[in-house]
Structures are given as structure tokens and as C-alpha cells.
Amino acid sequence: MAEPVDVDEESGRAALGRTLRYLREKAGKSLGQLAEETRYDKSYLYRLEVGQRLSKLEVMQDLDRYYASGELLQGLWKVARREVFKDKYKEFMRLESRARIMWMFQLAIPGLFQTEEYAREVLSAAQTSSGNVELVEEQVAARMSRQEILHRTPAPHVRLILDEVALRRPTVDAKAWQSQLDHLLEVCRFPDVVLQVLPFSAGVHGLMGSHLSVLWEPDGTSVAYVEGNGTGELVDEPDKVTNYRLSYDRVRDLALSPAESLAFIRGVLEEHQP
């Protein structure tokens, strides 16, 4: 029978797969029996155990309940999903997961606010070759799991300034785009979320061509993460973070008010109604 492994000795995905196998064998179940009792395809479960698939968090929640393993598999999955992201993004994700205050300026709808269908189309478009369906699905699952941040207790205070360009580039699937706009409006009802739209009429500004996130950690320290042209930089020098905060403040002064922004998004949604 397989033994539990030291997670530090191997990749997160391999540790998850071997733990899945260990729990199944400990329960005295074959893959066929597990498939029948959980209603997941046998080949799918096998690929999870050998590390060929990452799955969605919901699958790990189901299997944790099945094995009465608490949140063991969910915890291992959260470690494994970090491997889907580039190294430069992993530290930002760690800081994001515990931040108390988050300010974002985005030229596209950010992952925390995306629907699964929208994320799938965006991530598929980023692939340079065909045949990467499984990779895209892993990236979608990892991106959706990040949205737990908005539902934790206490929830972070999130302010998003969304450039109008993000609202003028719809998905190919019209229904997916309508659902994404509806979702934006729904998330804006969260008590700790504020969204503002920066219209084209605001003209030029200091953050054109880059995404910016400023995070405040529980101890009061702040960091900035800047993305642009395929690069990302995590900034923790106090003077540089202050400069980014000032740039954000200036863009916020140019943006529509929260109420005007919601009306703007509703207007865009109406334009795309059949």
C-alpha cells in the first residue's frame, strides 16, 4: 500500500496524486469502485492519482467528504495549483491571499472578477498552439479558486478601477460576455468591493499600458505588483510603493464614481442584449 509522502520532497501535484492513491487504497477501494461511488470517470480519477490532471477544487472537496479526510486534499490542491502559475506570480498570490486591503487598476477584467467561461476564453486565446485543453482547464480551475479571497472572513476591502477598454472587448461567445457583465454587477454588490470605470474621455494617465495592484498586509505593510508587456514586478521598497499609490490616486480622481460606473456597465450590457 502506498504511504503518505513528505510534501516538501516532491512537487505539489505529485504529492496530491500519491495522497489520493493512498486514501483510496487505505479505504480498500479500486478505481472502478471509487468511480462508481463518486460518479467521477475512472480514467479521470486515475489521471488525478498519477498527476496528469489537477482538477477543480470542488472535486477535492467531494473526495475529502468521501474519505472523511477533513480538508487534507483541499490543502494539497491549493499547494499544487500554485505550480500552474509562473514563478514571478507565486509570491504575489501568497500576499494576495492574506491582504486586508487591495487596490487594483486593470486594463482587462481581473481574475478575481471573471466568470469561468470568460476565463476559459481568455486563457485559451493566450495559447500559441493547439492541444493545450488540459492546461487551460487547470489554469481556469486555479483562477476560479483565487476568488475564495472575496468570500473569506474577514473579507478584504477591494477597490478596482477598470479601464473602459476592458468593457469594449467582448468574448466571441455573446452569452459568455453577457454573463461576465452580469457577474461584474453582482460582485459590486459585495459590501467590501468598490468598482470604478475609467472612461476613454479621461484621456492620458500615468498607468497606461500596465496593470497595478497595491496590497496592504495584516501588519500594515504594503507592496505593489506591476504587470505589463508579459512581465511582472513585485515592489516592496517603501518609496516606490508610495509612488504607485500616488499614481493610483490620480487615476481614481479621473474615474467615474461607483454609482456612475455601475450605470456605465449596465449600459454596456444593454448594448449587447439580443
Walk me through the domains of the chain, giving residue ranges and CATH numbers: 7-82 (1.10.260.40), 85-110+152-271 (3.30.870.10)
| pLDDT of the residue at 273 | 84
Instruction: Enumerate long-range contacts of 116-124, CB under 8 Å, 24 or more apart.
Output: 116/140, 116/144, 117/171, 117/173, 117/176, 117/179, 117/180, 118/171, 118/176, 118/177, 118/179, 118/180, 119/143, 119/144, 121/171, 121/172, 121/173, 121/176, 122/171
Each residue's pLDDT tens digit, 166-211: 999 999 999 999 999 999 999 999 999 999 999 999 999 989 888 9
Q: Cell for 178?
A: 453577457
Q: Which residues contact 140 (CB under 8 A, 6 or more apart)?
A: 116, 119, 120, 123
**Strand, helix or coil for residue 220:** coil
**What single-letter DSSP state applies at residue 202?**
G
CA–CA gap between residue 251 and residue 66 (Å, rounded): 50
Q: Report which of 170, 41, 37 is spatially closest to residue 108, judged by C-alpha positions.
A: 170
Contact call for residues 115 and 46 (beta carbons, < 8 A): no
For residue 222, give the H/E element and its range: strand 222-228
pLDDT of residue 131: 61
| 179-198 exposure pattern, b = at least 16 Cβ within 10 A, e = fewer | bbbebbeebbeeeebbbbbb
- Is residue 50 within 8 Å of residue 11, measured between CB atoms? no
Q: Is-above-0.85 flag for pTM? A: no
β-strands 101-106, 157-163: how paired?
parallel
Nine-digit cell at 88? 514571478
> What is the full per-residue pLDDT of the chain (274 aa) written as tens digits?
344 444 444 677 888 889 999 899 999 999 999 999 998 888 889 888 888 777 778 888 999 999 999 999 988 888 787 665 555 567 788 888 889 999 999 999 999 999 999 999 988 887 766 667 778 888 888 888 889 899 988 999 999 999 999 999 999 999 999 999 999 999 999 999 999 999 999 999 989 888 999 999 888 889 999 987 667 788 888 899 999 999 999 999 999 999 999 999 999 999 988 7
Summarised one tens digit per residue, pLDDT across range 64-98 is 999 999 999 988 888 787 665 555 567 788 888 88
d(CA 88, CA 272): 36
Q: From CA 145, how far away is CA 162, in angstroms rounded? A: 22
DSSP 236: -
